[in-house]
Amino acid sequence: MDRKKFIKTSGAGLGLALMPGLVRGQISSPNTSSANPIEPKIIKGEDGIVLNVLGDIQTHKLSGSDTGNQIVEWVSHVDPGVGIPPHIHTKEDEIFRVIEGEVEIMVGGKTTLLKAGDLAFAPRDIVHAWTVVGTQKAKMITAAFPAGIEHMFKELAALPEGAPDFAKVAEICGKQGISFI
């Protein structure tokens, strides 16, 4: 069967399969039963909430309040040499996608150089770390799921400027289930 015929056939079949439920009003979107339905959202260019999280300049594009606490996504603009030391998350998984520059990332004991277009997945309970390498600033999109970590970033961004108090940083991160190795 060719692609067009398949799409037409499967679309018609799906429509017929759903029709009895639609007629009786039995099929609904997962969002329609919620007291606070998830609304579509378009975020342009540099729009978002900008936070300086210990030198990691993050523009938060989506937060848990936007996604029913399913996912949070931010864009980082990071200078060479800036990074996050080895740590473990117990509450969320992360995806890192490099858009510009080079990021050395370690996930589960394996270190890799990520360049524009490369992606890394760091599941919860797996040690990971990253550092911007080379001479160019890096731009990286990070997503964490489920959401919640954005509250920790806001608290870290509120710390006084200057060299961070590692004990205070560890305390804030610990509330999110993140520990440094």
Q: Which domains does the chain have, with CATH numbers?
A: 1-34 (no CATH), 49-180 (2.60.120.10)
Are 141 and 114 spatial neighbours (Cβ–Cβ below 8 Å)?
no
Cα angle vertex 62, ends 96, 76, to 5°? 40
Q: How do residues 95-106 score in pLDDT, each as one tens digit?
A: 999 999 999 999
pLDDT digits (tens, 9 = 90+) for 73-129: 999 999 999 999 999 999 999 999 999 999 999 999 999 999 999 999 999 999 999
Rounded Cα distance between 133 and 20, Å, is 58
Between 27-41, 105-119, 150-164, the lowest mean confidence (pLDDT) is in 27-41
